[in-house]
Amino acid sequence: DAGITQSPRHKVTETGTPVTLRCHQTENHRYMYWYRQDPGHGLRLIHYSYGVKDTDKGEVSDGYSVSRSKTEDFLLTLESATSSQTSVYFCAISDRDRGRNTEAFFGQGTRLTVV
Amino acid sequence: AQKVTQAQTEISVVEKEDVTLDCVYETRDTTYYLFWYKQPPSGELVFLIRRNSFDEQNEISGRYSWNFQKSTSSFNFTITASQVVDSAVYFCALSGNNRKLIWGLGTSLAVNP
């Protein structure tokens, strides 16, 4: 299994509080992604990173920010959590091998509940 | 724009039946990659296969096979002699020049004993 760890695995938080989810990899992969998964919507990209300090928005980035200060860690922050951000969050990593996209490996997911 | 369509939301079969999961994609990139992932009830996402746009050969891995046809922009997945353990949600995804994975909404497969 790819070395990718998400923490925490479960979290319940109150509306309006800040929340940070952490993704840690030991594969030295260049690309890291944060997705959310909701019934009826599949996987939606929140933000992704293509290198240290290089990040870009995905399709559902509002209300989220990310940081990547080193290759192995990609943090997702909800500045002020809302109930609509209740979801399962997945981190993924991938790389490029001789110019070709490799497959993405996923963490175990974080179930976040905002009450 | 890139898009992946999995028209089958849910499929239910009886064990030992063959089942095909459809995936149709749209992209203007000439080089791209297609993927299939499995998400069992336990929730993790498991990589199954990657196929690049220059390789239209079908692939077989045990009871799993994949049929890639550029002419119809399809990358279909067939499970032969399905088993209860195959019950899961299956996702098709596309990656082009922008390095992002574009996902279909998934097909939920129930294999009943």
- Report percent pLDDT > 70 for chain B: 100
* Residue burial B71-92, b: 16+ Cβ < 10 Å; e: rest: eebbbbbbbeebeeebbbbbbb
Strand partners, B46: B38
Distance (Å, whole) CA A81 – CA A68 = 21
Q: Tell me: the pLDDT tens digits for B48-92?
A: 998 888 888 888 889 999 999 999 999 999 999 999 999 999 999
pLDDT at A86 (0 to 100): 97
Mean confidence (pLDDT) of chain A: 91
Q: Would you call B105 and A92 a contact, using CB atoms and an 8 Å cutoff?
A: no
Q: Would you call B106 and A42 a contact, using CB atoms and an 8 Å cutoff?
A: yes
Banded model confidence at residue B96, pLDDT cuts 50, 70, 90: confident
Whether the predicted pLDDT of B5 surpasses 90: yes
- Report percent pLDDT > 70 for chain A: 92
Mean confidence (pLDDT) of chain B: 93
Peptide bond into A18 cis (omega under 30): no
Q: Tell me: the pLDDT tens digits for A50-75?
A: 889 999 999 899 999 999 999 999 99
Q: Tell me: the pLDDT tens digits for B16-50?
A: 999 999 999 999 998 899 999 999 999 999 999 98
pLDDT at B97 (0 to 100): 78
Q: How far is CA A15 from the centre of its chain?
A: 20
A58 Cβ partners below 8 Å, 6+ apart?
Answer: A33, A34, A35, A44, A45, A46, A47, A48, B100
Q: Tell me: the pLDDT tens digits for A34-51?
A: 999 998 888 999 999 988
For residue B83, the distance in angstroms to the closest alpha carbon of chain A comes to: 24
> Between residues 3 and 62 of chain A, which touch chain B (CB distance below 8 Å)?
31, 33, 40-45, 48, 50, 58
Q: Would you call A109 and B43 a contact, using CB atoms and an 8 Å cutoff?
A: yes
Distance (Å, whole) CA A103 – CA A70 = 21
